[in-house]
Amino acid sequence: EAGVTQFPSHSVIEKGQTVTLRCDPISGHDNLYWYRRVMGKEIKFLLHFVKESKQDESGMPNNRFLAERTGGTYSTLKVQPAELEDSGVYFCASSPGSLTSGYADTQYFGPGTRLTVL
């Protein structure tokens, strides 16, 4: 079974440019999460999709970030325009989601996209 994949693995852009990160969850997983780790800080939650709907986007830093999950499969996270403080590693995770496991549902993580904004 393929795991969570993310593309690209690295991205280097200049301040003001636009970048789009992609996440392909494990097939059949309804839940998809985005996280970010800024250098030297802990991994922080950005948002949560259930199928194509945003369940929780309380962690999104500002309106320069736009996440979509059309059709409930892969997801994209667009940063426009990028700022220096957006540099970090962006992780995606997915989980099957079930009524029995609830919030103990295991999340499976991708390898991350390392974003550098110059």
Partner 1 sequence: AQSVTQLDSHVSVSEGTPVLLRCNYSSSYSPSLFWYVQHPNKGLQLLLKYTSAATLVKGINGFEAEFKKSETSFHLTKPSAHMSDAAEYFCVVRIFDMRFGAGTRLTVKP
The residues binding partner 1 (CB under 8 A) are 3-4, 9, 33, 35, 41-45, 48, 56, 58-59, 91, 93, 101, 103-104, 106-112
DSSP lists the bridge partners of residue 49 as: 32, 54
Task: Compare residues 58 and 62 and give the one whose CB is closer to partner 1.
Answer: 58
Q: Least distance (Å) from partner 1 to the CB of residue 15?
A: 26
Q: What secondary structure does DSSP assign to the chain, as a single string?
A: ----EEE-SEEEE-TT--EEEEEEPPTT--EEEEEEE-TTS-EEEEEEEETTEEEE-TT--STTEEEE-GGGS-EEEEESS--GGG-EEEEEEEE---TTTGGGPPPEE---EEEEE-
Task: Compare residues 7 and 45 and give the one whose CB is closer to partner 1.
Answer: 45
Task: Compare residues 48 and 82 and give the one whose CB is closer to partner 1.
Answer: 48
Task: Compare residues 94 and 117 and give the one whose CB is closer to partner 1.
Answer: 94
Q: Least distance (Å) from partner 1 to the CB of residue 43?
A: 4
Q: Least distance (Å) from partner 1 to the CB of residue 109?
A: 4
